[in-house]
Amino acid sequence: MTTALPHPAASLRPLPDTRHLHLVADGVRHDAEDPASPPLVGYLLLVPQGTDPLDLFAKDRPRPEFRPADDAVRIDTARRTAEVDGRELDLTYLEFELLAHLVRRPHLVQSRETLVAAVWGYDHVGDGRTVDVHVARLRRKLGAAHRRRIVTVRSIGYKYVPDQQESPHAAARGRS
């Protein structure tokens, strides 16, 4: 087993407040006699206060809704709904999938090819223009106050910016 340790000069910052962290499971496998058994792998999972981490792994229950930091656009994957400022959007299947994909990855530039593969699937026959058409529809459905949250990255694709809103000057000039 290889363990990577930080460089001695690296500054390690302690967690600011560990009072709200708790151990989810501490089961240890005792297979020391069997050298062929795979090594034990551990994960640290940080969740917001009040969230039961076991709910995140339950297969028979809906997962909690995903809320970006600004809370203006809300995606509920369990109910397959999207809301903007409390108003539910009427989205097609692909529009919902595209918006959810972008919202889950704020500020991350997604190429058109990546979006086609993630939303339409790898076997989709089409091009980046399909993404452009769906983004245009999403922007219209988000409305004037929020359409600029889906930002075009020229010659690459799109990214979702949670705090990006229509500026009054752009609206006056007719930009969207």
Question: Per-residue pLDDT tens for 118-161?
Answer: 898 877 776 778 899 999 999 999 999 999 999 999 999 999 99
Contact 115, 137 (CB under 8 A): no
Q: What are phi and psi of 38, to 5 degrees?
A: -70, 155
Among residues 138, 101, 100, the alpha carbon closest in space to that of 118 is found at: 101
pLDDT at 72 over 70: yes
Percent of the chain's residues with pLDDT above 90: 38
The pTM assigned to this predicted structure is 0.57
Among residues 137, 123, 146, the alpha carbon closest in space to that of 70 is found at: 146
Q: What is residue 78's DSSP assignment?
A: T
